[in-house]
């Protein structure tokens, strides 16, 4: 089984790749996971580079992977932004899920980069799903109204993400990662097609 894991993060013991290898031990299923993340492959894994994105999309469209997993950066979508005066300010809201139009400088670039990566993610997952392949998207849950901060922007509000649910066999659900060992709740939504 060929698995592509986008935004895999730094190499670590309990990574998805390691978990898949452990789960397939002793079975006839051999799992090969290609992890793509700038923290692992530097410039060659920089998905902000158009050529890198184009190469990945092409590989998925050619059917090279049985499964594609993506967990795009969530920092600009974080509910923690604007929650208090100690942290970074909000850069998105439900009314402006692609970023506040008045942003400039480093914050505007950060939102623009995150939007590019999210557009790439939905393009790749849509290509995988249309071919009948397995796919999984992981991102923080949209918890709605957040008091003074209003309702933060969430990828789950975006039409291109919501349209993925229209593909046959795709389902979505939420969980708290604390049920699986994190030291804080970390509400997370998963979307995808995973048989069984």
Burial class (CB in 10 A: 0-12, 13-18, 19+), 109: exposed
Rounded distance between C-alpha atoms, residue 13 and residue 2, angstroms: 20
- pLDDT averaged over every residue in the chain: 90
Taking only the tens place, the pLDDT of each residue in 60-94 is 999 999 999 999 999 999 888 877 777 789 999 99
Distances (CA, A) of 164 to 5, 49, 58, 178: 18, 24, 19, 27
> What's the pLDDT at 96?
95
What pTM does this model have? Answer: 0.90
> What's the pLDDT at 13?
66
Taking only the tens place, the pLDDT of each residue in 120-171 is 999 999 999 999 999 999 999 998 888 877 888 999 999 999 999 999 999 9
Radius of gyration of the chain from Cα atoms?
Answer: 17
Range of 4-18, 22-36, 103-117 with top mean pLDDT: 103-117
Does residue 21 carry a pLDDT above 80?
A: no
Rounded distance between C-alpha atoms, residue 36 and residue 45, angstroms: 6
Does residue 19 carry a pLDDT above 80?
A: no
Rounded distance between C-alpha atoms, residue 136 and residue 70, angstroms: 6
Rounded distance between C-alpha atoms, residue 61 and residue 130, angstroms: 9
Give residue 141's Cα distance to chain centre.
Answer: 12
- Half-sphere exposure (Cβ direction) of 132: Cα atoms closer than 13 Å: 0
> What's the pLDDT at 42?
85
Burial class (CB in 10 A: 0-12, 13-18, 19+), 34: middle
> What's the pLDDT at 28?
83
> What's the pLDDT at 14?
65
Give the number of other CB atoms < 10 A from CB of residue 56.
Answer: 23
Percent of the chain with pLDDT over 90: 62
């Amino acid at each position: 089984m060929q698995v592509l894991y986008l935004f895999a993060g730094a190499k670590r013991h309990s990574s998805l790749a390691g978990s898949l290898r452990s789960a397939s031990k002793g079975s006839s299923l051999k799992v090969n996971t290609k992890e793509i993340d700038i923290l692992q492959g530097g410039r060659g894994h920089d998905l902000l580079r158009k050529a890198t994105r184009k190469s990945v999309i092409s590989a998925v469209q050619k059917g090279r992977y049985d499964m594609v997993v993506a967990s795009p950066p969530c920092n600009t979508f974080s509910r923690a932004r604007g929650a208090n005066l100690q942290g970074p300010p909000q850069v998105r809201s439900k009314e402006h899920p692609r970023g506040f139009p008045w942003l400039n400088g480093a914050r505007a670039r950060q939102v623009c980069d995150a939007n590019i990566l999210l557009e790439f993610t939905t393009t790749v997952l849509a290509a995988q799903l249309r071919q009948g392949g397995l796919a999984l998207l992981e991102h923080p849950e949209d918890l709605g109204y957040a008091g003074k901060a209003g309702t933060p922007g969430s990828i789950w509000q975006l039409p291109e993400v919501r349209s993925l649910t229209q593909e046959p066999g795709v389902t979505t659900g939420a969980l708290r990662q604390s049920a699986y060992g994190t030291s804080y709740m970390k509400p997370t939504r998963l979307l995808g097609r995973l048989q069984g």
